[in-house]
Chains A and B, each alone.
Chain A
């Protein structure tokens, strides 16, 4: 690693001002950033740790019944504390990485990084979540802007993520066993006003919604409803783990499994 300093502010305000300096970079749980620094793929002058800020920790229920999660909340805490309020989200969080990674990695860090194979982007987009930052609220539909690209401005901090709770939901992840990321993952959520289907791990553009499946499932929430559909392989990821056609096939299989498992 190149040399850098670390600051650990205890308020969002202090963190925001520290991030206003050139060469400053936010540090969440570090489960992606630290390996990146080890490979010298990033060279920040100063890391601003967001894990010592009490107001960015924990899970609560908002006024509209939505599940509100502090940006620096670890995957392990989300898994534990949303088990009753949003089981599909809890299930997703409980299968990210491995136990020690879940004890450090944070929801805000995952969403800010927007890895094309990460799990949380599928939950946020599939739930129509709201990404709350220190300056504004961003709808998930506007937030994800391509592989490793988001609507966040430099220095902007994800302080909270708000998930409307669906009637039924499920996340199906086809694990790439070496990395423990999703080779393909599909999050299906049924709300009173329609169904959302978000796909991660598959596209060169990062997480995306499968519109045709959403329309079909909104009419009839059953695996049979999407039997006649084919997920497009255009612009899907091609690597040694799978071809675009293979990933397209997985999208449909996992969507059907998610619908059948949704509770």
Chain B
């Protein structure tokens, strides 16, 4: 076991990890931040997406010790400082961008990464960016709509009702 330290959602944290401890297991098991989900554990589904130094990664496919010293952001760090929902989260709620909700943490984190690098994406760009995020309820239309709305675009004509 070695000790690893990083910043998670603005808070300095540390804990003992094995070499094989995945970042997602450190977040969930070590820090009890269970908002980040493990869907497939094979880096296909994207339910485990978090930001490491501002970049979206699959936390099931990165070791905790590789995040030593990094700034990590999870779904628990996405709300506004006063606890209200962020623009993206509010848009998911408004446009019913979730059904069972299991994929939602990863969808929100990927959406935030997309809008940071491309503030006004087209519907096609949103769908392309979500290639690594799978929703097994197949609720993609409203997820895409929510992300388009969060980018400040008119979504009346977007996707199927």
How many residues from A make CB contacts under 8 Å with B?
27
Tell me the complex Cα distance, A35–B55, Å. Answer: 20
0 or 1 for each of A137-157: is its CB under 8 Å from B? (1 = yes): 000000000000000000000
* Chain B positions within 8 Å of A108 at CB level: none
Supposing A35-B61, A51-B66, A97-B132 touch, asked if A5 and B46 sit within 8 A by C-beta, the answer is no
B57 and A8 contacting across the interface, CB-CB below 8 Å: no
Q: Is the interface of B mostly helix, strand, loop or mixed?
A: mixed
Given contacts A99-B113, A99-B132, A3 and B18 within 8 Å (CB-CB)? yes
What residue in chain A is nearest B113 (Cβ atoms)? Answer: A99
Complex interface bits, B108-135 against A, C-beta within 8 A gives 1, otherwise 0: 0010011000000000000001011100
**For the complex, what is the distance from the CA of A108 to the CA of B26, rounded to whole Å?**
27
Residue from A1, A97, A104 whose CB has the most chain B CB atoms within 10 Å: A104
CA distance A30 to B65 in the complex (A): 13
**If A3-B18, A35-B42, A104-B61 touch, does A99 touch B56 (CB 8 Å cutoff)?**
yes
| Chain A 33-61: CB-based contact to B (< 8 A → 1; otherwise 0) | 01101100000001101010000000000
Contacting residues, chain B, for A30 (C-beta < 8 A): 61-63, 66
Give Cα A49 to B55, complex, Å. Answer: 19
Q: Is the beta-carbon distance between A47 and B19 smaller than 8 angstroms?
A: yes
The reply to whether the CB of A101 lies closer than 8 angstroms to some CB of chain B is yes
- Tell me how many residues of B have a C-beta within 8 Å of chain A: 27
List residues 180-237 of chain A with CB under 8 A from any CB of chain B.
180
Determine if A49 and B19 form an interchain contact, defined as CB atoms under 8 angstroms apart. Answer: no
Residues of chain B lying within 8 A (CB to CB) of residue A104: 57-58, 61-62
> Does B43 count as interface, using CB distance less than 8 angstroms?
yes
- Could you say which residues of chain B place their CB within 8 Å of the CB of A37? 20
B43 near A1: Cβ-Cβ < 8 Å: no
Chain A residues contacting B129 (CB-CB under 8 Å) are 99
Can you list 17 pairs linking A and B with CB atoms under 8 Å apart? Answer: A6-B19, A8-B68, A31-B61, A35-B42, A35-B61, A37-B20, A46-B19, A47-B19, A51-B66, A76-B55, A98-B46, A98-B133, A99-B110, A99-B132, A101-B58, A101-B132, A180-B131
Q: Which residues of B are in contact with A by a Cβ distance under 8 Å? A: 18-20, 22, 41-44, 46, 49, 55-58, 61-63, 65-66, 68, 110, 113-114, 129, 131-133
Known pairs A35-B43, A101-B61, A180-B131; list 19 more (Cβ under 8 Å): A1-B20, A3-B18, A5-B19, A6-B19, A6-B66, A8-B66, A31-B43, A37-B20, A51-B66, A76-B55, A98-B46, A99-B56, A99-B113, A99-B114, A99-B129, A100-B46, A100-B57, A100-B58, A104-B57
